[in-house]
Copies of this chain bind each other. A is one copy, B any other.
Amino acid sequence: MTEQAGQVIFTRGGQAESIHRVHVAVVDRSGRVVARCGDPALVTFPRSSSKPVQALPLALSEPELPGDELALACASHAGTKEHLAVAERLLARSGSTLGDLRCGTHPPFDPAAAADLIRRGEAPTPLHHNCSGKHAGMLLACLRNGWPREGYTEPEHPLQVRIRELHAELGGVPLDDVRGGTDGCSVPAFALPLHGAARIFARLAAPTGTLAPALERVFRAMTAHPFLIAGPGRLDTTLMPLVPGLAAKMGAEAFYGMALRQTPHGPLGVAFKVQDGGERARPHVALAVLAALGGPVTEELRALAPRVLHNWAGREVGTVEVEVPLKWA
């Protein structure tokens, strides 16, 4: 890594307390890296920011799927009633049941939904898992493609083989450079250079080639259903309605992908990673990048990444300083 990483600095009493390092890649419709901060070749895992790619076999094989169900297949949802209702509908479409889901179980991300479960004395089910929509969508893609439901999460399953190829194809990197790991929900997670992930989002921003109709369906589903993509107060949900032509997707460990259709530089794909996985830095980096790419930074946008920090008693205790300068190619 030759370039200086960006930084998001949490201060207290005018003194730096904690510092997050950040790497950013911005790619145009031709696939060229046009701007960067830090190391655009950093190899890392998009994690759930891969969901728009993971939903492509579904979008290709089920072109008439309702937009809300396709959105939920791209989501890291918060487990509210609205999310569960769509997940159930998508799961039923392939004749699958809860027992077919291999995502595992965790309490809903939404604190109100989690508290509600506790009050009712109920345990969470695999449907509450933030990836249940992706998994339900994968089961349907298997059915439509004539692939076995059995083993749909395994790296050698035709669905996962295809998803890995799509990462290479859309990311513009050799297949051998798409390295496999296992995600939190047990499907393969693929690592690739940051510029490759940005290229995937550039393709969502400006679909071309044989995949264009499916990419377009995914883009439209995500932007039409920002609530389903994440949930109450979560960044994708709050950011997308404020930025025209933006499809955005969070990934675990503070990854972020943005497909921007309307910038002064034309359609762009953005990917960034907070090196330490610190999720709290993400909204600050997202806003800094949007501003650097020429977007208007409104009060509503600024409210998504407050620069003044308060304590439990509501007193001001510090600030957030954002140093994420984009270097243009």
Residues of chain A whose beta carbon lies under 8 Å from any beta carbon of chain B: 10, 12-21, 43-45, 102-106, 115, 118-119, 121, 129, 179-186, 189, 191, 253-254, 275-278, 311-318
Known A12-B45, A118-B119, A318-B181: A17·B313 in contact at CB below 8 Å = no
Residues of B within 8 A of A18 (CB): 253-254, 275-277
Residues of B within 8 A of A121 (CB): 119
Known A15-B45, A15-B191, A17-B44: A315·B253 in contact at CB below 8 Å = no
- 22 example contacts (A-B, Cβ-Cβ < 8 A) are as follows A10-B253, A12-B45, A12-B181, A12-B182, A13-B180, A15-B179, A17-B191, A17-B253, A21-B276, A103-B313, A104-B312, A105-B312, A129-B312, A182-B316, A182-B317, A183-B311, A183-B317, A184-B312, A185-B313, A186-B312, A277-B278, A278-B278
Query: Least Cβ distance of A101 to chain B in Å?
Result: 10
Residues of B within 8 A of A179 (CB): 13-15
The complex places the Cα of A276 from the Cα of B281 at a distance, in Å, of 10
A184–B311 CB distance below 8 A: yes
Closest B residue to A278 by CB, please name it: B276
Residues of B within 8 A of A102 (CB): 313
Residues of B within 8 A of A277 (CB): 10, 17-18, 278
Copies in the complex: 2
The complex places the Cα of A21 from the Cα of B184 at a distance, in Å, of 24
The complex places the Cα of A180 from the Cα of B315 at a distance, in Å, of 15
Residues of B within 8 A of A318 (CB): 181
The complex places the Cα of A186 from the Cα of B253 at a distance, in Å, of 30
A181–B312 CB distance below 8 A: no
A14–B181 CB distance below 8 A: yes
The complex places the Cα of A10 from the Cα of B277 at a distance, in Å, of 9
The complex places the Cα of A81 from the Cα of B276 at a distance, in Å, of 35
The complex places the Cα of A62 from the Cα of B283 at a distance, in Å, of 48
The complex places the Cα of A115 from the Cα of B107 at a distance, in Å, of 12
Query: Least Cβ distance of A100 to chain B in Å?
Result: 14
The complex places the Cα of A13 from the Cα of B19 at a distance, in Å, of 27
The complex places the Cα of A185 from the Cα of B313 at a distance, in Å, of 7
Residues of B within 8 A of A12 (CB): 45, 181-182, 189, 191
The complex places the Cα of A106 from the Cα of B318 at a distance, in Å, of 19
Residues of B within 8 A of A17 (CB): 44-45, 181, 191, 253, 277
Beyond contacts A10-B277, A15-B179, A105-B312: 16 other A-B pairs, Cβ-Cβ < 8 A, are A10-B253, A13-B189, A16-B44, A17-B45, A18-B254, A18-B275, A18-B276, A20-B276, A21-B276, A102-B313, A181-B317, A182-B311, A182-B316, A183-B317, A184-B312, A277-B278
